[in-house]
Structure 1
Amino acid sequence: EITGLDDKDTVFRTVPSDDYQGRALARTLKEKGYDKVAVAYINNDYGTGLANAFKAEFEAQGGEIAGFAAHEDGKASYRSNLAELSSGGADTLVIFDYGDGTGLTILRQALENGFFEKFVGGDGMKSDAPINELGAENLATFVASSPVGEKSDSLDIFNDAYKAAGGDPDAIFVTTSYDAAFLLALAVEKAGGDKAGVSAALREISNGEGEAILPGEWEKAKKLIAAGTAIDYKGAAGDHNFDAAGDVPGTYALFEVGADGFEVMVEMK
């Protein structure tokens, strides 16, 4: 929905669209041998968008969707929903919801009642809450997709600095949030504080042309902008070359639960 907004070129994002995530997740699961799944998704734009993209791609890849149903937020029990979803014979449940909300309730009740053997989540499910509440030992068959930074010098620089500041660089949206803030600051500087010029400036500072600016190089960027020199921000999450809709390609990975939390299992394409 965001991609198609009539926003007069004022909406940009550093995270790839959920359509891309859903389709990449479907392809990755098929490659890893998941042939028949059921899908539970929260009844909002996030859940619906991810679920429909996933379903279309999974079926296009020859996979079978044995159950596909929306659910409402905040119910005490989803056992009847889970029973219906499991009636199709799938051993895997794909959950497009939030790991610190309804998604946690669904995952817990599915485990407690043995409705499914394996579980897959979208980025909303990659939360510490399921690990803290259910225990890593009970999530050996749980995997979740999430955006990750492309391997680069920029990512290494960011990771080292963020760890030194006491942060977890693998936490969801850390690199993309940092890049969004840095890009906007650079664009405001490039536009000389004129909000009418920020959209054009965002494209100019990240179009692949100019002197490279890495995470943290604010003073360097200010001097180059003041001198009229073209710059190209190389983000922690990748090169944010915005398309006509303000979208970026980005990179996702599939995570599994290890002894120390979520660990990258495979990069999704």
Structure 2
Amino acid sequence: MTACGGKETSGAQETSGGKETSGSSAAAESKETKEVSLGLSAPLTGNSAQYGESFRNAMKMAIDEFNAKGGAVKVNLVEMDSKNDPKESANIAQKLVDNDNIVAVVGDFSSTTSMAASPIYQRSGLVQLSPTSSHPDFTSTGDYIFRNVPTQKIEGAFVADYAKELGYKKSAVIYIQNDWGIAAKENFEAKFKEAGGEVSNSLNFNPDTKDFNNILIKIRESGPDVIYLGAPYTESALIAQQSKKLGIKAGFIGTSILYSDQYIQLGGKDVEGTHLSSYFFPADPRPEVQKFVEAYKKTYSKDPDMFAALTYDSANMLLSIIEKGETSRKGIRDALAAMKDFPGITGKTSFNDIRNVEKDLAKLDVKDGQFTLYKKE
């Protein structure tokens, strides 16, 4: 049934009238079938809704595929809109932990939003598995908190090395003033300086800022050859547009948070040439990746992005545990902590003793209005 103000679905079909529904009638369900739910906390509306849409699409697809196998356990989805707001994610966490049918939660998107909810999940003994929270401190809340992406310490250093490989020597840094943005800028700057680079400016902005001219005027005066974008795609696209209007010639480089079609659609020609990192690329020739891409495109009429891929793997890790008959909250936690070399589309995944993972990163560029793999000239 619809739980706690969230929207509960069984596969791709939503509930109505407060009762759970599925692809077949309740009478046709086997009396031996057990039902449990996975929670999803994600920004389904607001400036980060593109990320939330990828989360939801991937979760629904993974659960549909699981239920189609007709096993002894049927899994429903309870999806809730955090709006990428820490207060909202904390409220959602309390509602989800109070729903006894929920055995684990996937989410949230940003580190700040995820970390606001983590103490609630930890105190209640409910797994929180974030596909994308990369702040180094995220999993330190406790042993029920997991991530399916490496920390900014790893990605920040990777992007700094990428910048040096491209020949950039002087970087300005613009970052969003939140937990993720601070971690992103600190780790990029540390590695860039270590490699001999100069950071000319390190300037922050508050969430929902639209006018970056004051920041960019200061950057124009310092004359960097590249600007590191420690910000989501919406703000980064605005920064790119406004910098071009001010005559700034510097290039742009950033993390995988920029890997969204919305970045290109919003920024247009002004984001051309942007360099970024990613843990997934749809053109990866591995059979499991191409099978996922084909299925996603068939269902949603577009390519999956990195955020969909990481969420799909996160959901499938939990579903693989449920498939083996484990449906208790503690049992799922223990099985997830012990997981080794899970064969996902973003690579093999194992959790270390602090529930972090390691994955390979790819270098991408925006070329001719689309993301492409970087090719060294």
TM-score with structure 2 setting the length = 0.58
Residue correspondences, number: 240
2:226 maps to a residue whose letter is T
1:182 maps to a residue whose letter is N
1:122 maps to a residue whose letter is T
Q: Does 1:119 find its partner at 2:228?
A: no
Select which of 89, 94, 114 maps to 2:228. Answer: 94
Residue equivalent to 2:329: 195
Residue equivalent to 2:277: 145
**2:139, 2:355 within 8 Å by CA — same for their partners in 1?**
no
**1:95, 1:119 within 8 Å by CA — same for their partners in 2?**
yes
1:141 maps to a residue whose letter is G
CA drift at 1:187? 2.1
**Deviation per CA, 1:49-78, whole angstroms, max 9, x where unpaired?**
111000000111111111111112233421
Residue equivalent to 1:207: 340
Select which of 325, 343, 368 maps to 1:259. Answer: 368
Question: Secondary structure in 1 aligned to 2:227?
Answer: strand
CA distance in 1, matches of 2:140, 2:227: 36
Q: Does 1:157 find its partner at 2:266?
A: no
The within-5 A match list for 1:237-252 is 237-252=346-361
Select which of 79, 84, 104 maps to 2:237. Answer: 104
Output the aligned Cα RMSD. Answer: 2.3
**2:296, 2:304 within 8 Å by CA — same for their partners in 1?**
no
Residue equivalent to 2:107: none
**1:3, 1:245 within 8 Å by CA — same for their partners in 2?**
no
**1:119, 1:141 within 8 Å by CA — same for their partners in 2?**
yes
CA distance in 2, matches of 1:182, 1:105: 35
CA distance in 2, matches of 1:52, 1:181: 31
CA distance in 2, matches of 1:2, 1:63: 23
CA drift at 1:263? 1.4
CA distance in 1, matches of 2:147, 2:277: 18
CA drift at 1:266? 5.6
Question: Secondary structure in 2 aligned to 1:20?
Answer: helix
Q: Unpaired segments of 5 or more residues in structure 2?
A: 1-134
Q: Does 1:72 find its partner at 2:203?
A: no
**Deviation per CA, 1:143-166, whole angstroms, max 9, x where unpaired?**
222222686443233223323334
Distance change in 2, residues 1:239/1:125 (3 Å):
same
Question: Secondary structure in 2 aligned to 1:12?
Answer: strand
**Deviation per CA, 1:6-57, whole angstroms, max 9, x where unpaired?**
4442111211112211111001111121111111001111111111000000
CA distance in 2, matches of 1:191, 1:7: 28
CA distance in 2, matches of 1:152, 1:48: 35
1:243 maps to a residue whose letter is N
Residue equivalent to 1:216: none
**2:139, 2:356 within 8 Å by CA — same for their partners in 1?**
no
1:125 maps to a residue whose letter is L
**1:108, 1:134 within 8 Å by CA — same for their partners in 2?**
yes
Distance change in 2, residues 1:172/1:266 (3 Å):
farther
**2:340, 2:350 within 8 Å by CA — same for their partners in 1?**
yes
Residue equivalent to 2:262: 129
Question: Secondary structure in 2 aligned to 1:250?
Answer: coil
CA distance in 1, matches of 2:292, 2:369: 21
CA distance in 2, matches of 1:247, 1:155: 23
Q: Unpaired segments of 5 or more residues in structure 1?
A: 209-232
CA drift at 1:190? 3.5
CA drift at 1:141? 2.6
Distance change in 2, residues 1:88/1:249 (3 Å):
same
Distance change in 2, residues 1:3/1:151 (3 Å):
farther
**Deviation per CA, 1:83-117, whole angstroms, max 9, x where unpaired?**
112322212111111112x2222221111111233
CA distance in 1, matches of 2:375, 2:321: 34
Residue equivalent to 1:82: 216
Select which of 37, 45, 55 maps to 2:189. Answer: 55
Higher relative contact order, structure no. (Cα contacts within 8 Å, ≥ 6 residues apart): 1
